[in-house]
Amino acid sequence: AVEDVNVTFEDQKKINTFARNTNRMTEFKDEIEAKKKSLQNLQDASDDLMMAEDDSLLVPYQIGDEQLQQEIKDLEGKVSAIQQVLGDLKVQLYAKFGNNINLEADES
């Protein structure tokens, strides 16, 4: 039996905030994965250059992975902050709506 639960404007704002933050977190996680892939590509290129180096053909190169590492760290910090907000909102929304609301990520 589904209970009738009155959804207030404040409740709707919380639900909308939850949805927006869930989307932002997904975007940040996708961006982290892309940056990690770029970082791995840089590392692979660096390894290839080292192995291909011939003492008679010294090629100067510089791999700029520090910026990517910092960007990944910053994005992971944003994801962590969003997870905290989502956790707080879940507690509030489940306390009011119980099983009448589903805030779990769809794994399909």
Query: What is the reported pLDDT for 1?
Result: 47
**pTM greater than 0.85 (yes/no):** no
Residue pair 64/39 in contact by the 8 Å Cβ criterion = no
Query: What is the reported pLDDT for 52?
Result: 72
Strand partners for 79: none
- Residue-level pLDDT, tens digit, the chain, 108 residues: 456 778 999 999 999 999 999 999 999 999 999 999 999 998 898 888 777 766 666 666 676 788 999 999 999 999 999 999 999 999 999 999 998 999 987 765
- Taking the domains of the chain in order of start, what are their residue ranges? 9-97
Q: Which residues contact 36 (CB under 8 A, 6 or more apart)?
A: 72
Structure token digits, residue 34: 């892309």
Residue pair 18/89 in contact by the 8 Å Cβ criterion = yes
Query: What is the reported pLDDT for 47?
Result: 83
Q: 3 — phi, psi (to 5°)?
A: -85, 145
